[in-house]
Structure 1
Amino acid sequence: MAAVEAKPKSVRRAKYWDENVEEAYRFQLAGYRDEIEYSKFHPQEVIDRWPHNNYIKKLKRRNDGLFYYYNKERECLDKEIHKIKLYTH
């Protein structure tokens, strides 16, 4: 029997950049809602992060299982911020 999916209680769009928006951007670029959904698809995988700022370094893409590699610094541009969904569990 499958586990019950942890659905978010609410969702809102980001209005300005911060580290939470950057984290959500990286998960959503790879095809996942957030870290909870990523962990559901890859329960044994530890998320690889950059040591100096704890940003995500790489994630498995949802559609094909290949890796998506991210830079050490901010990747979410100001023009992309309004597209990012922030979920509350």
Structure 2
Amino acid sequence: MMSCATGSDSKPKSMSRAKTWTAEVENLFRFQQAGYRDELEYIQVKQGASIDKWPETGFVKKLQRRDNTFYYYSRKRECKDDEVHKVKVYVH
């Protein structure tokens, strides 16, 4: 498990792997692809940066990586079935 050296008062209590695709798993996939645990960690690291989401789907549209480059995402599903089990779901 990858740990992040950020000042964390919001460390997760537990972690499990996604078993089926949901909209929540889709967004977690996007945050993790950009190098973050989840939306909470992104907001913490980026000091409250707003998160662009597609209005029709609620999926994350754009994320700034830790190296300040950007990931741009489609309004369609990007987390394929064979990648769902790689997504980490954290409980806070």
Please indicate, yes or no, whether the TM-score normalized by the shorter chain is above 0.5: yes
Structure 1 residue 73 corresponds to structure 2 residue 76: yes
**1:72–1:85 CA distance, 2 compared to 1 (3 A):** same
What TM-score comes out, normalization by structure 1 length?
0.91
3-state secondary structure, aligned to 2:15:
strand
- Change over 3 Å in CA distance of 1:8–1:44 after alignment to 2: closer
Name segments (4+ residues, structure 1) moved above 3 Å. Answer: none
Q: Percent identity?
A: 52
The amino acid that maps onto 1:16 is T
Matching of residue 47 in structure 1 with residue 46 in structure 2 = no
What corresponds to 1:18 in structure 2? 22
User: After superposition, where does 1:32-43 map in structure 2 within 5 Å?
Assistant: 32-43=36-47
Aligned pairs, number? 87
- Determine the structure 1 residue equivalent to 2:11: 7
Structure 1 unaligned residues grouped into runs of 5+ = none
How large is the Cα RMSD of the aligned pairs? 1.4
Query: Which deviations, in whole Å up to 9, do the C-alpha atoms of 1:25-79 show, x marking residues without a partner?
Result: 00000000001110111124110111111110000012x1111000011000001
- TM-score, with normalisation over the residues of structure 2? 0.88
